[in-house]
Amino acid sequence: MDDDRQPEVLLPAPSSDDATVGPGRPPKATRWKKGGPSPNPKGRPRKDSMFADVKRLFEDALKQKVPLTRNGRRVYLAKVELGFEQLANQFAKGDRHARRDVFTYSEQLGIDLTGKAEALKETLAPNHQEILGAYLARQRSSDERLKDERVIAPVDLLDNDADEVR
């Protein structure tokens, strides 16, 4: 017995008449005509990302002005300015975490903390710069040679029985 079979569902045959209206078949008058203007000119709207909202909120919070008194006058500073001032004060007190952060930020932002970089550039004459450049080139080439040199073991330490098949 083959009673396990599912009954076949018969769909109505598609009619040649385009006046049929139903699911997936809008009225002919409202159908989009090919070559005409797009039915959705702006396209599908982008899905809102929470990341953009959080970023905007964080930026707004850092830009927010805070009142404080300096030398008897009321001054308004952004929170990010206050944060960097506090970081600099902690650095001045010797806080090791602040020191790490100050060095990291100064390197990323290209800030010379010692103030001697310009003075060093001015004291180096052009011929001194050439001498330093030649020295650095020699150091780099010697480092490359050391990397490429292979150490060859003495003959008595070589593994000669690797060719033998067991």
Does pLDDT of 158 surpass 80? Answer: no
SS3 98: helix
Tens digit of each residue's pLDDT (9 = 90 or more) over 45-81: 877 778 888 999 999 999 999 999 999 999 999 999 9
| pLDDT for 22 | 86
* Contacts with 125 (C-beta within 8 Å, 6 or more apart), sequence order: none
pLDDT computed for residue 135 by the predictor? 81
The average pLDDT across 120-126 equals 67
H or E element, residue 70:
strand 65-70
First and final CA of the chain: distance in angstroms? Answer: 65
> How is residue 19 written in tokens?
């006046």
Q: Which residue has the higher pLDDT, 21 or 152?
A: 21
Average pLDDT over residues 106-127: 74
- Give the pLDDT of residue 38: 78
Whether the per-residue pLDDT at 166 is higher than 70: the answer is: no
pLDDT value of residue 72: 93
The mean pLDDT value for 96-113 works out to 89
Whether 39 contacts 26, CB under 8 Å: no
Contact 108, 102 (CB under 8 A): no
Backbone angles phi, psi at 77, to 5 degrees: -125, 150
How does DSSP classify residue 137?
Answer: H
DSSP calls for 19-69: T--BTTB--GGGSPPTTS--SSTT-SPPPPPHHHHHHHHHHHHHH-EEEEE
More confident residue, 115 or 89: 89
Q: Which helix (H) or strand (E) holds 78?
A: strand 73-78
